Structures are given as structure tokens and as C-alpha cells.
Chains A and B, each alone.
Chain A
Amino acid sequence: MAIDWPKTALEVLNEEPLVVKNPKTWYHIHTYGGWGQFFKGLRNKKILATRCTNPQCGEKRLWLPPRANCPDCWHDMQWVEAPQTGTIYTHSVVTYPGELFKLPPGTPLISVEIEGVCTKLMSWLKEGKPKFGMKIKAVFNTERPTNSILDLAWVPA
């Protein structure tokens, strides 16, 4: 029994030089691992950050994005609820986002300073025009969660 030729073909886009189209249609199965609590927290309108459990460690502040291990001493971290108000550290409106961006062009991106947090979380502003030092408060996407960092956003406080 002879094996039949394949039934699907690569589409020819150009003859000289010969250029074909290679289709890609699969997905990746991605684990958030030890950081999953953060994304689950957003479903319950909580910003979960982490703090190092090592009493000898010099870094007492919260980490947000959270880390499962402290970068200064490699000890385990514990989950702590972070404040839901902050200020805008910097901002930009992205006019030409890349493929996969789930928000419309013109969405303001912001970096958020939160008291007691040693990092400046990147996020987006859902309402209003961003300004340096503007006071903002967190809002959560519990309607149709994307299960991504986009489920946290900010509005003027």
C-alpha cells in the first residue's frame, strides 16, 4: 500500500525567490507556579505581595511583582496584602502596541509606587489622564477575568 501525499500545502507567496507561508496555530501551557497566588488574589480584589521571612535579611519591604524566593538571601517569602492606593511614578500612552495586546491602542501604561513596596509595578490606567505623582487606587477585573496581569488596573483616587 503506497502512502498518499500530504493533503495540506504550504501557500506560495512568491516564486522568485521561492517564499512560502509556514502556519503556526498552537498554544503554550504556562504555569505561574509559586506566583499563582497573586493572580488568584486579583479575583478576590486583593493585591498579594510577598515579604522575606528571613529575620536576618536587610530587605523588609514588600515585593510586587511577588517573588517566591528573596533575591537578597534566597529564603522563602510570605504572602502579604499590599495597599490598594499608590502614585504614578511614570507613564506613557502606547499608540502602536504589538500583536496580542488585549487593550485598545491609546491605553495609558503606568508604573505605580506603593508605600512599603520596594518595587514599582507596571500596570495600566483605566480612567483619566496620567500625571506624575497622581494618586490612584486599584480596580479589579472580576467581570471577565483574563487571568493575567491585566486584571489589575488603576483609576484616579
Chain B
Amino acid sequence: MIKFGPGNLRIPKFEKPVYVVAGGLTDYRKKYPEKNTSELCTMALRMAVEENDLKVDPEEFRRMVNWVVYSQFADHFGDQLLAAAKIHDYLGFDPLGNIEVKTGGATGGSAVLAAAQAVASGYADCVPVVGWERMDEVTTKVGNSYIASAACKDFESELGWMYAAYYALMAQRYQYENNVPHETLARIACKNHLYAYYSPFSQNPGKYTVEDILKNDIVSDPLTFLECCVMSVGAAVLIVCDEKVANRLTDRPVRLTAICGGSHTLRTADRRHMPILLLPNETEATYKEYFTHKRTDWPGFSSFLASRMAAYLAYNMAGIKDPVEDFDLLETHDAFTISDVQTYEDIGLRPYGRGREFIESGEAYFEGKLPTNLSGGLIGTMHAVGATGIWQIVEVLWQLQGKYDKFHGDPKMWERYGKKKPADWKSLQLKNPKRACTISHAGTGSHVTCAILEKP
């Protein structure tokens, strides 16, 4: 669709306010033979229900649940169709109704959206969202091939069987149009590997220099391994509920003021030029001089219309005027360093063409104006695909509740996963953050959700 009608841009609304109250995670690993998928989901659910200071005991909680949303990207990986039924039974939720949601890398975000829709409509008032991915049944090379079967198998998958290559094509074009130094991209990787260093859940933590990132092996030029997300095994759980249930469960509920979805063609190839969809902090004048002999089209290969659409709807739904001013923290879907810069522009942190400034200015850091991916992101901590969008919201929920240290700083949490808390561990708890945003993203931008969370 390159022309919008008024119905297409209708701003979504919730009939009832939606809250999130508790979250649970596993740690994330490349291989996790010690636990099967049902056990991993149970670990995450138990953390959500038993370790989030809920005012009810687990048995009472179990009696409050009335709908469950499951989130898994690829049946290929799990090699178990209807895995949700197996896990639903294992978690003891039969005979409650449930659905399993699938939108590629954005599956977690879409699952939370589905839970929010259930609560907002009054269909349900207490909904666990359970996500996982088990990516260790096959070799990495086969895993990449499975992931690439989420590209168009008729016209694109055969060209590399490698998603990083499809992002690399965008990276090259973005660099050509906007001339971003590779060092700037590498700084994103350094930041996220470092923040992963402070997380007991993380799979690929590390203190890297820009030079380490640049010297690392190239997957598909210009992207190096350390600039790409990890392939993970693990689960995540988020409890979504209405206001009454939220207040019964916790003294620190967080409101999900908006969660909205956008989409764009699965094949990057099919993205036709169209007028730029403007966010509340942009006007036509913002892009008066945008197009040049190099920047010939929008969204082209440099921008994600799906992210722009999701942000447009969510910002208007939640009354966001300027994301850098209005948000206190942000989790992006940093599957690749390049897609992170693209996303900065799509969600209006900087106008198109100037995304690099968000990282170069220091704003994206813990000490900066809008700390981004304090969780360690997909590059440093995890991408157990079906769990990813849920885990992002759990991490910002804990930040908003002031519980970063409880879940990341307790030496026992590290020991639980067979790790030792680093002697130079540092708290990334922000001082009284009020509003957060998370972006969940699929394909080369086929589905994106934008969620906004706010302390009441």
C-alpha cells in the first residue's frame, strides 16, 4: 500500500486500560541440553509469579488466569507442531483457552499485542504471555538456513540462505546514501556487548573495543559476527492484566499505554517509493532537502516503513510528542548494528539520514538522555526469537519498577545459571524512569510492534 485512506491510519484505542505487572526469564544460551522447552517455559513462568513480589501466592495466581498467549517463531527449530498445547498442559493451564502467535522476529511483540487486545476488550483480565525458542537442535549453518526460509523462498532465500546477507544489502545501501563510518556501527555493538556483561541472563557479553568489532570476521560485508544478534535457546514470560487485577497483584503496576503493529513487504525488493509518513516531531520541512541523487526513494532499503507505521500509531495513541524527550529508556531490536541506526530514524529519534547522531552524541548510553538496550540487546544478551519481544518488555518493566538490581545484581541469580557475578559489575538501574518504549521487529522489516510503558 503506498496511498493511505483515513481508515488505514486510524489510531488504535484500548476500551480498558492495560497493565503489565511481572516478568520472568531464563538465562540464554547457544545450547541448552540440560532443559527441554517445557521446562524452560516453566522456569520463566515461575520467576514471573514467584519472584516479582506479587501479593498473591502462586496457587492463587493460577486461579486468576483466564487466557494465555504463546509466542514461538519457528516450528522448524522446535520440530514440534502445536508446541503451545504441550507447554500449556505442562504449565497446568488446561482447559483455559490459548493462542499461539507467529510474526517472525516480532513474534514476542505481537504476542504481547494479542494479550493487550484481549485485556483491553474485556475478553480476559489476567493473561500470561509465554515465549520461547529452541535453536540448538540444528547446526548454526542449518539454523541460518531455517531463518532464511523466513525470506521469500521463491525469489530470495536461495541467494545466500542467510539473513545477515539481506541486512548487509541494506547496510551497504544505507552507508552509500548516508555515509556512516563503520566505527559508528561498531560503537553500538560495543555498547550492547558491554551492557550484556552486567546481565546474568546474557549469552554473548564482552568488553570489546571498536577495533575488536571491526577486526572480527565478516559474515556478509560490512557486517561482522560481533555486529549480529546471537542464536539462542531460552524463554520469557510477561503477565498482562487489567487495572483491578494489576492492583490486586502488585503495588508497582506499569501501564501499557500503547502497543501497535506495522508491516511491510517480506521482500525488500518490493518496497516502492512513497511519501514519508511523518511522526509528531516532524513536519514536511524536516525532509525538504532529504532526497538527493543518492537518496532516491523512501523507504527504499535504508528505512523500515513497518517501524515507522508502528511508531506513528503508538506515539499518537500514547500522546508522545518527541520520543527522545518523552521516553526515559528504550529497547530496540538490534538484530544487526545497521538495523539499529535505521530504527533510530524510523522511530523519530533523529530525522532520516541522521541516525548516527543518536549514538555519536552519547544519548543512547546509560549516562545519556535516552539509554538504549541496557538489557544488552539482541547482539549481547539473546535472540531466542519467540521470547525476544517479551524479554525486552520484562527488562523495561523491571527498570520502571526499580528492580534492575534485584534481577541483575544478586550474586545468587548469577550462580543459578552457573556464572559468577563479575567483580566489576555495575548497576544499570536508571533513576526513577517513568516511560519506556520497546521495538519488536521481524524479517527485513516485515512486522514491527512498538510498545509504550508508563508508570501510573
Which residues does A use to contact B, with CB under 8 Å? 14, 17, 19, 22, 30, 32, 35, 58-59, 63, 65, 71-72, 89-102, 107, 109-111, 118-124, 132, 148-150
Chain B contacts for A132, CB-based, 8 A: 176
Does residue B60 face the partner (Cβ distance < 8 Å to A)?
A: no
Which 7 residue pairs spanning A and B have beta carbons closest together? Answer: A98-B161, A98-B144, A92-B168, A90-B173, A98-B145, A99-B145, A65-B155
Selected A-B contacts with CB under 8 Å, 9 pairs: A65-B269, A91-B172, A94-B162, A94-B168, A98-B148, A98-B162, A111-B169, A148-B158, A149-B155
Q: Is the CB of A122 within 8 A of B221?
A: no
**Interface locus among B212-220, B246-254, B405-413:** B212-220
Q: How far is the CA of A63 from the CA of B170 in the complex (A)?
A: 20
Q: Is the CB of A97 within 8 A of B162?
A: yes
How many residues belonging to B are interface residues under a CB distance threshold of 8 Å? 48
Q: Whose C-beta in chain A lies nearest to the C-beta of B273?
A: A118
Q: Which residues on the A side are within 8 Å of B270 (C-beta)?
A: 63, 65, 119
A119 to B297, CA, bound (A): 12
Whether B269 contacts A100 by the Cβ 8 Å rule is no
- Chain A residue numbers with a CB within 8 Å of B268 are 111, 120, 122
**In the bound complex, CA of A139 to CA of B309 (Å):** 39
CB distance from A27 to the nearest CB of B (A): 14
Q: Tell whether, in the assembled complex, residue B162 and residue A14 are in contact, meaning their CB atoms are under 8 Å apart.
A: no
Give bound CA distance, A30 to B158, whole Å: 14
Judging by beta carbons under 8 Å apart, are A94 and B269 in contact? no
Contacts of B171 in A (CB 8 A): 92
Nearest-Cβ distance from residue B433 to partner chain A, whole angstroms: 38
Mark interface residues in B122-164 (1 if CB within 8 Å of A CB, else 0): 0000000000000001010111110110001111101111101
Is the C-beta of B34 less than 8 angstroms from some C-beta in chain A? Answer: yes
Given contacts A111-B269, A121-B269, contact A92 B220 (CB under 8 A): yes
In the complex where A98-B148, A149-B155 touch, is A92 in contact with B272 (Cβ < 8 A)? no
CB-CB under 8 A from A109, the residues of chain B are 159-160, 165, 168-169, 220
- Minimum distance in angstroms from A29 CB to a CB of chain B: 13
Looking at A65, A120, A122, the one whose CB has the most chain B CB atoms below 10 A away is A122
B267 in contact (CB, < 8 A): yes
> Closest chain A residue to B143 by CB distance?
A98
Bound complex: CA A144 to CA B160 (Å): 19
Whether a CB of chain A sits under 8 angstroms from the CB of B58 is no
Q: Could you say which residues of chain B place their CB within 8 Å of the CB of A100? A: 145, 158, 161
Contacts of B165 in A (CB 8 A): 92, 94, 97, 109
Complex formed: what's the CA distance from A119 to B222 in Å? Answer: 24
Closest to B79 in A: A22
Q: How far is the CB of A13 from chain B (nearest CB, A)?
A: 9
Contact of A149 with B154 at beta-carbon distance under 8 Å, contacts A98-B148, A111-B301 already known:
yes
Most-contacted residue by chain A among B155, B176, B267 (CB, 10 A): B155
Q: Smallest Cβ distance from A103 to chain B, in angstroms?
A: 8
Residues of chain B within 8 A (CB-CB) of A124 are 159
What separation, in Å, do the CA atoms of A109 and B159 have in the docked complex?
Answer: 7
CB distance from A1 to the nearest CB of B (A): 34
For residue B3, which residue of chain A has the nearest CB? A58
Closest beta carbon of chain B to A22's beta carbon, Å = 7
